[in-house]
Amino acid sequence: MPQDWTLERLPPDSPHLDTVTRWTHDTWGHLNPALDFADRLAETRDECGEAGVPSVFVAMSGETPLGTASLIVDDMSSRPELTPWLASVFVLPEWRGRGIASALVRRVECEAREAGLERFYLYTPDQQALYRRLGWRDVESVDYRGETVTIMVREWP
């Protein structure tokens, strides 16, 4: 099946900023309920850097956003010594199973390498198998804001 989507950097003035923020707010907002949608929108806009950390990427089919992933400084307040992070990997349910999440992760990995990073982190409650397939390795299992998650690392020799 031909690929009917592309990956793009999300600029801070993108018309899709609200959509991407809505996805991440609805999916992970419970982990930091002190932030409302307006706070998250401002945070996402600030993460839309031109290169390196921070950066936000979006999978697009024409003018329709399908998914997102970010490279950010901090994604786990209880582990400030770990930085930077792959964060907010999300694909619309009807577009899952087409390699979009893997492509988004690879795009963020490329951004990290181009920025000269030797390692970066992520945490996930339930997608360990995906990330292990992509070369990530487990660091530890922790309770984060009431959810058991695995912290994982991606490193290059």
Helix (H) or strand (E) holding 5: none
So what's the pLDDT on residue 38? 94
Per-residue pLDDT of the chain (157 residues; tens, 9 = 90+): 568 999 999 999 999 999 999 999 999 888 888 889 999 999 999 999 999 999 999 999 999 999 999 999 999 989 999 999 999 999 999 999 999 999 999 999 999 999 999 999 999 999 999 999 999 999 999 999 888 999 999 998 7
Please check whether residue 101 is in contact with residue 122, taking contact to mean a CB–CB distance below 8 angstroms.
Answer: no
Q: What angle do CA 48, 140, 146 make, to 5 degrees?
A: 75
Q: For the chain, which domains are there? A: 6-117 (3.40.630.30)
DSSP-derived letter for residue 116 is T
Q: Under the phi-then-psi rule, with left for phi > 0, alpha for psi from -120 to 50, and beta for the rest, what region is 37?
A: alpha
Rg (the chain; Cα; Å): 15
